[in-house]
Structure 1
Amino acid sequence: MLPTPTVRSLDEKVYDPAEDSFLLLDCFEQDQGYLLEKFPPPHTIPLVVEIGAGSGIVTTFVKQNILKDGIYIATDLNPHACKAVLETAEENRVDDEKLESCQMDLTNGIKNKHVDVLIFNPPYVPADEVPAVPETDDDESWLDLALCGGPQGMDVTWKVLHGLETTLSKNGLAYILFCARNNPMDVKRDMEQLGWKVDKIIERKAGWEVLSILRFQKT
């Protein structure tokens, strides 16, 4: 088993690593062979982007253990999370010359089919609406952005799914986490009808919730 990165005590406005975070770590450990076959080192230097990186534990883990030669961009709307990503990388002695933390909405600043590996632990909890972006750094509601995903918990996730065509490289992969209430098998069917290859990599019961991670790639 690969070691779990150490995360410093986080600002209360940043999402603490939880069952969904650790499921992503297990997913990448399980899929390591497939990723190294797709992006063999040292000849391939993949661009890895994590959306909504939160504490940075997933980006740090993948950089340390899976795609060590990759270039990493961790994005988050939350400025406190952007800071936490760099702190987690530093805590675990990750080479930050190939790791950037950027405050942005999803992948809006990354276009032209450059992303080789996209990682997304979305705000998947069903809620009345997706929260508005706070106007000040000291607003207490920053954490809500990491949790609330609209009535089906899918508002933000569908934005990412519909943008994969213009985000992923020719051989690009997207790893996206879902809860059972998001109806991931319906998502799989719908995306396959749009010409995507979709595989369920891992699934786990976490308390009262069932979480799964799907891998998307162009056919």
Structure 2
Amino acid sequence: MAQVRVLALDFVGTLAGHGPSPDGRLVAKALSDLPGTVIPDDFPTRFDAVAHRFGESDHARGVRSTFATRLRRAAQDCGAGIPDLRLAMDAVFAALPDARIDVEAASALRNLHATGLRCVLASNTDRPERVRLQTLAGSGIADCFDALVLSGTLGIRKPDRRFYAAVTEAAACPPEDILFVGDNPENDAVGPHAYGMPSVLVRPGPRPAGLPSAIATISHLRELAAHLNNRKSRAG
């Protein structure tokens, strides 16, 4: 059994609760006051239609289109004028609260990091890296992470094998030395396991049917330290 050197941690459902997603009305409102920006009345409807269309296409292809791509396409479809896309994205995500980090999960992560484990955030998200870093910093855990691997930045989402390859590259160690921890059975447990990473599913309640026996389950991140200790005992 390989020694765990790096934790690859999911965000929503593992470290944090669920945050809101930007819909057309919120995006239009956030952009309406930006200098030089022109937002037609039908922009909210067009944006939601584009987001739905991209969502279906992304799911079928196993990729993750960026928020910037969807925003640009919606603007093209309705003739909106958005001269500075980066400024527009900053405005949207400044208006949209990120998911709230669980206090106990943050404490557990700090304790795990203090033992010498390196950490990589591995998340499917539309939010830019700078926004997620602000969220982590607000809970005092930004310095626990050596790298952030975000689907919106990569253009690839879990469970695409290329996502796990990016995690491995960010961790700078073999997959077998990385413990992937998250709440989604396919994305955070079965997918990493198939790539060669040990994984732990964070899931209160009964164990999901069909989950490979090699994948452990815990009900909360606070239980991860005990799991790692048991893993070391078995290896010894």
Structure with bigger helix share is 2
Fold-level similarity (TM above 0.5): no
**Greater C-alpha radius of gyration:** 2
- TM-score, length basis structure 1: 0.34
Structure with bigger strand share is 1
- TM-score, length basis structure 2: 0.32
Which structure's relative contact order is higher, taking Cα pairs within 8 Å and 6+ residues apart?
2
